[in-house]
Amino acid sequence: MQKNGPVALLFHTLVVSFVLAPLAVICLVAFTPENTLSIPTTSFSLRWFKAIFEHPDFVASFVNSLWLATLAATLSVAISVPAALAIDRYDFPGRNALNALFLSPLIIPHLVLGVAFLRLFALIGATGSFAWLVACHVVVITPYVLRLVMAAFTGLDRSAEQAAMTLGASHWTVFRRVTAPMILPGITGGWLLAFINSFDELTMSIFVTSPQTVTLPVRMYMYATESIDPMMAAVSALMIALTAVAMLVLDRAFGLDKILVGQK
């Protein structure tokens, strides 16, 4: 395998630093003892992390986002696994059209989706419903799950499935005992990626949330329009830490290479 030269290593270092620099600055500002957005130079403080729990609206919005992302990601997996199995294994009329339908939310701006959902909910009288908010997020995040599950199916060695069927196992038993464990990294990665995208979704959620179902990103946006203080950096730092821990656990459990390119 050819190793990267000094120029390539320098280029990669600059790119990674450019991407991570804003996140590092946000995390540093979260520990400032000052009342303004500033990097601490003399001392660090947890005052702005404590301030989050003094705002019950933020805590309630965090719970809303947690439930929303969990339900939406789980439903997306429940939809994507049979859809990926049908698209990957079977040749039927409308197969390409079905695949394009599932992936179409990737090419539609979330602003357009938000306005469309708002109009739809106004027509059917579903404005403010948490269930319909979950449905909106399922539409947006299902393409991410579908792509990872399809990648897992593509990289799957079917000899174990064929051996199980030869021994008399039913299709459901083969899927439950053989196929599902082999594609578990793809399913888990798709669920986590869907969870993160749902938890962080802002543009569409602004249009379809109600005062009772405000998510954390929407709450942050509403707060930032009134005042900007280091508490926003503290909330952002917690979200960054949550995402980083989830990715670390996933990498230790399955390996991100297997999740992103499919099980080999």
Tens digit of each residue's pLDDT (9 = 90 or more) over 6-36:
787 888 888 888 888 888 888 888 888 888 8
Query: Cα separation of 255 and 248, whole Å?
Result: 9
CATH number of 51-261: 1.10.3720.10
Residue 52 has pLDDT above 90, yes or no: no
Quick one: pLDDT at residue 261? 53
Residue of 104, 108, 128 whose CA lies nearest to 116: 108
Check if the beta carbon of residue 138 is closer than 8 Å to that of residue 80: no
Give the pLDDT confidence of 67-125 residue by residue, as tens digits: 999 999 999 999 999 998 888 888 888 888 888 888 888 888 888 998 998 888 888 87
Q: Render pLDDT for 157-188 as a digit per residue (tens, 0 to 9).
A: 778 878 888 888 888 888 888 888 888 888 88
Q: Is 165 exposed, middle or buried (0-12, 13-18, 19+ CB in 10 A)?
A: middle
* pTM beyond cutoff 0.85: no
Question: Domain locations in the chain?
Answer: 51-261
Cα(229)–Cα(211) distance, rounded to whole angstroms? Answer: 23
